[in-house]
Amino acid sequence: MRTDYCGELTPEDEGREVSVCGWVDRRREHGEKLAFIDLRDHTGVVQCVVDEKHDLRSEYVVRITGTIVVRPEGMENAFLDTGGIELRDCEVEILNRAEAPPFPMHSRQDVDETVRLRYRYVDMRRERMQRNLRYRALVQSAVRGAMEDQGFTEIETPLLIASTPEGARDFVVPSRQKPGEFYALPQSPQIFKQLCMVGGMDRYYQIAKCLRDEDLRADRQFEFAQLDAEASFVGQEEVIEFISYAISSATDAVRGVWPEEMPMMSWIDAMEYYGTDKPDTRFDMTLIELTPLFEGTEANVFKTECVKGITVDGGADEVGRNRIDELTEMCKRWGAKGLAWFRVGEDLVLDGGLTKFMTDDEQAGLIHMMGAKQGDLLLLQSGDRHLVRDVLGRLRLEIGKPPIDEGLAFLWVVDFPMFESINDNGDPVAAHHPFTMPHPDDVDYLVRGGGESLLKIRSQAYDLVLNGWELGSGSVRIHDPEIQKSVFAALGFSEEEAEDKFGFLLDAFRYGAPPHAGFAFGIDRLTALLLGEENIREVIAFPKTQSGSDPLTNAPTPIDDRHLTELGLRTLPPAE
RNA sequence: GGUCCUGUGGUGCAGUUUGGAGUGCACGCCGCCCUGUCAAGGCGGAGGUCGCGAGUUCAAAUCUCGUCAGGACCGCCA
Q: Which of A107-116, A281-290, A567-576 has the highest mean pLDDT?
A: A281-290
If asked whether residues A126 and A236 sit together in one domain, one would say: yes
Q: With respect to residue A175, please indicate whether it lies within any of the assigned structural domains.
A: yes
Q: Is the distance between the Cβ of A389 and the closest atom of strand B smaller than 7 Å?
A: no
Between residue 293 and residue 312 of chain A, the positions with Cβ below 7 Å from nucleic chain B are: none
Nearest amino-acid residue to B78, taking CA and C1': A167
Which domain-ending residue is among A380, A400, A420? A400
- Report, as an integer, the average pLDDT of A181-202: 96
Which domain-ending residue is among A337, A366, A400? A400
Nucleotides of B under 7 A from a protein CB: 1, 3, 10-13, 27-30, 33-41, 69-78
Share of chain A above pLDDT 70, in %: 99
| Rounded distance in angstroms from the CA atom of residue A326 to the C1' atom of nucleotide B17 | 21
Q: Does residue A127 or residue A576 have the better pLDDT? A: A127
Between residue 155 and residue 214 of chain A, the positions with Cβ below 7 Å from nucleic chain B are: 166-169, 187-188, 190, 212, 214
pLDDT band at A576 (very low <50, low <70, confident <90, very high): very low
Strands A203-211 and A153-154: parallel
| Rounded distance in angstroms from the CA atom of residue A337 to the C1' atom of nucleotide B2 | 20
Q: With respect to residue A460, please indicate whether it lies within any of the assigned structural domains.
A: no
Predicted confidence at residue A387, as pLDDT, reads 93
Scanning every strand, the nucleotide with its C1' closest to A101's CA turns out to be B10
If asked whether residues A116 and A48 sit together in one domain, one would say: no
SS (H, E, C) A71-114: CCCCCCCCCCCCCCEEEEEEEEEEEECCCCCCCCCCCCCCCCHH
If asked whether residues A248 and A129 sit together in one domain, one would say: yes
Predicted confidence at residue A53, as pLDDT, reads 86
Q: Is the distance between the Cβ of A30 and the closest atom of strand B smaller than 7 Å?
A: yes
- What's the CATH code of the domain at A26? 2.40.50.140
For residue A174, pLDDT over 50 is answered with yes
If asked whether residues A139 and A37 sit together in one domain, one would say: no
Q: Tens digit of pLDDT for each residue in A250-265? A: 999 999 999 999 999 9
For residue A428, pLDDT over 90 is answered with no
If asked whether residues A171 and A223 sit together in one domain, one would say: yes
Whats the size of chain A, residue-wise? 576
- What's the CATH code of the domain at A297? 3.30.1360.30
Q: Is the distance between the Cβ of A36 and the closest atom of strand B smaller than 7 Å?
A: yes
Which domain-ending residue is among A365, A400, A435? A400
For residue A165, pLDDT over 80 is answered with no
For residue A574, pLDDT over 70 is answered with no
Widest CA span in chain A: 91
Q: What is the ipTM of this complex?
A: 0.93
Give the span between the Cα atoms of A404 and A406, in whole angstroms: 6
Q: Is the distance between the Cβ of A84 and the closest atom of strand B smaller than 7 Å?
A: no
- Which residue range is the domain that position A239 belongs to? 110-263+515-576
Give the span between the Cα atoms of A39 and A344, in whole angstroms: 61
If asked whether residues A250 and A361 sit together in one domain, one would say: no
Alpha-helical runs (H) found in A425-545: 481-490, 495-509, 523-530
Nearest amino-acid residue to B11, taking CA and C1': A103
Q: With respect to residue A372, please indicate whether it lies within any of the assigned structural domains.
A: yes
If asked whether residues A141 and A247 sit together in one domain, one would say: yes
For residue A183, pLDDT over 70 is answered with yes
| Rounded distance in angstroms from the CA atom of residue A44 to the C1' atom of nucleotide B34 | 28
If asked whether residues A359 and A259 sit together in one domain, one would say: no
Q: Is the distance between the Cβ of A76 and the closest atom of strand B smaller than 7 Å?
A: yes
Report CA A74 to chain centroid distance, whole Å.
47
Q: Are A90 and A48 in contact (CB under 8 A)?
A: yes
Hey, is A300 helix, strand or coil? helix
Q: How many domains does chain A have?
A: 3
What separation in angstroms does the CA of A40 have from each of A105, A109, A226, A498? 11, 19, 33, 59
Q: With respect to residue A128, please indicate whether it lies within any of the assigned structural domains.
A: yes
Predicted confidence at residue A107, as pLDDT, reads 84
Q: With respect to residue A47, please indicate whether it lies within any of the assigned structural domains.
A: yes
| Rounded distance in angstroms from the CA atom of residue A103 to the C1' atom of nucleotide B49 | 23
Q: With respect to residue A488, please indicate whether it lies within any of the assigned structural domains.
A: no
If asked whether residues A540 and A564 sit together in one domain, one would say: yes
If asked whether residues A543 and A575 sit together in one domain, one would say: yes
Q: Is the distance between the Cβ of A555 and the closest atom of strand B smaller than 7 Å?
A: no
Predicted confidence at residue A269, as pLDDT, reads 96
Between residue 86 and residue 115 of chain A, the positions with Cβ below 7 Å from nucleic chain B are: 86, 88, 100, 102-104, 106, 108-115
If asked whether residues A87 and A115 sit together in one domain, one would say: no
Residue type at A487 in one-letter notation: V
Predicted confidence at residue A367, as pLDDT, reads 96
For residue A192, pLDDT over 60 is answered with yes
Q: Is the distance between the Cβ of A362 and the closest atom of strand B smaller than 7 Å?
A: no
Scanning every strand, the nucleotide with its C1' closest to A71's CA turns out to be B36
Q: With respect to residue A211, please indicate whether it lies within any of the assigned structural domains.
A: yes
Q: With respect to residue A393, please indicate whether it lies within any of the assigned structural domains.
A: yes
pLDDT band at A446 (very low <50, low <70, confident <90, very high): confident
Predicted confidence at residue A575, as pLDDT, reads 57
For residue A556, pLDDT over 70 is answered with yes
For residue A154, pLDDT over 50 is answered with yes
- What's the CATH code of the domain at A541? 3.30.930.10
Q: Tens digit of pLDDT for each residue in A304-357? A: 999 999 999 999 888 888 888 889 988 988 889 999 999 999 999 999 889 999
If asked whether residues A243 and A170 sit together in one domain, one would say: yes
Q: Is the distance between the Cβ of A31 and the closest atom of strand B smaller than 7 Å?
A: yes
Between residue 449 and residue 478 of chain A, the positions with Cβ below 7 Å from nucleic chain B are: none
- Report, as an integer, the average pLDDT of A222-240: 98
Predicted confidence at residue A425, as pLDDT, reads 72
Q: Tens digit of pLDDT for each residue in A44-71? A: 999 999 998 889 999 999 999 999 999 9
